[in-house]
Amino acid sequence: MERGVLHPLIHVALGTANILGLAEGDPRIRPGTAHFMNGGKCVYNCAYCTRARTSQAPGEYLCRVPWPAQDEDRAYEALAERQDEFSRICLQIVNSEGHIQEASKYVERMNDISSLPISVEMRTRKMEDVETLLEIGAEYVGLPLDVASREIYPDLRGGSMEGDLDFLFEASGLFEGRIGTHVIVGLGETEKEMVEVMEQIAEREMPIGLFAFTPCRGTRMEKSDPPSLSQYRNIQLAKYLITSQRVEGISFDNRGAISSFGPEGSELEAIPSEIFKTQGCEGCNRPYYNERPTGRPYNYPRDLTESEFQMELQETRK
Ligand code: SF4
């Protein structure tokens, strides 16, 4: 690298950087997707996010994962050489200064050097941003909803849930099959609220990614508790029932917690173990994004064994 010349940087998730040879280490579970992110603080101030405006979290972290900054050209070279190791590229775009220009540049340059499909995850209420990214070669744009409760949405995320949902639905109508979203379980929503939001999204046949709330140092919610494993399993099972049009069996108690799922006995046996695996874009397994490498994961980044599946299914009855 030339001395004294500033080279643009791109953040690369640690597991991706390991595989690209940009950082030392050999991940125990290999990420199926190559993850990249732009730099800077976000203009938004989501209470749970390490990149939020007032977050004091170290600059290289997104959630609990370090994303070391790398020379951008070097990252592209490494990606071109080792793209066969991945099935997709995912660009996490923080709403920092010039983020749309950065995102557009990433999409164009990565399309030039690789044949992998590209997903972009970004908060926006501007349809032209979505259109631009899709036109220049992103396969898919994820418009995160994150918070599934109308009541806590303004405080945790800012703005209104209705407004963001309307925008999401409009985008999915305009760009059919190329828009999705994700929600975070355990931010303070009830299970009923989560089920109702997932139903609305599933009605539009949009993919729904699931994340578990992870309290991260330096964020407004650093002292809040993560969801219990059984709460998370409940939502994974509920999502499966919603997307397989069996939601009418789900009932709730007066606190909004799921009291029954409907399927019993042999019907439960027909539930696929995939429902406890990472859910998002095709090929994405996000190892350790929400969990430590030890212990039971919220999202399994690999196939479950039969005994793991039975154990996780039991969690939904707790
Ligand atoms: S919009 Fe996204 S990147 Fe920005 S603070 Fe919220 S969660 Fe973080």
Q: Which two tokens stand for residue 248?
A: 């009418």
Residue nearest to atom 6 of ligand 1 (CA): 46
Work out the number of other CB atoms within 10 angstroms of the CB of residue 22. Answer: 18
Mean pLDDT, the chain, rounded, equals 92
CA 233 – CA 298 distance, rounded (Å): 8
Of 318, 317, 202, 227, the residue nearest 268 (C-alpha): 317
Task: For domain 9-315, give its CATH number from 3.20.20.70, 3.40.50.1470, 3.40.50.970, 3.30.1180.10.
Answer: 3.20.20.70
CA 71 – CA 80 distance, rounded (Å): 14
Residue 105 to residues 9, 108, 120, 130, 282, Cα–Cα distance (Å): 12, 5, 12, 14, 23
Q: What is the pLDDT of residues 36-68, one digit of tens each?
A: 999 999 999 999 999 999 999 987 888 888 999
Q: Which atom of ligand 1 is nearest to the CA of 95?
A: 4
> Would you place residue 297 in the very low, low, confident or very high pLDDT band (cuts 50, 70, 90)?
very high
- Output the pLDDT for position 298: 94
CA 198 – CA 238 distance, rounded (Å): 9
Using the predicted structure, report yes or no on whether residue 4 has a pLDDT greater than 60.
Answer: no
CB-based contact 25:18 (threshold 8 Å): yes
- Residues with a CB atom less than 6 Å from ligand 1: 42, 44, 46, 49, 51-52, 94-95, 123
Q: Which atom of ligand 1 is nearest to the CA of 94?
A: 3
Q: Which atom of ligand 1 is nearest to the CA of 42?
A: 4
pTM: 0.93
- For residue 98, how far is its CA from the centre of ligand 1 (angstroms)? 15
Using the predicted structure, report yes or no on whether residue 280 has a pLDDT greater than 60.
Answer: yes
Q: What is the pLDDT of residues 206-260, one digit of tens each?
A: 999 999 999 999 999 999 999 999 999 999 999 999 998 777 788 999 999 999 8
Residue 116 to residues 15, 100, 308, Cα–Cα distance (Å): 18, 21, 32
Domain-by-domain residue ranges, the chain? 9-315
Q: What is the pLDDT of residues 122-131, one digit of tens each?
A: 999 999 999 9
Of 89, 181, 86, 79, the residue nearest 130 (C-alpha): 181
Residue nearest to atom 5 of ligand 1 (CA): 52
Q: CA 264, 187, 96, 4: dihedral to nearest 10 degrees?
A: -90
Q: What is the pLDDT of residues 252-273, one digit of tens each?
A: 999 999 998 886 655 666 889 9
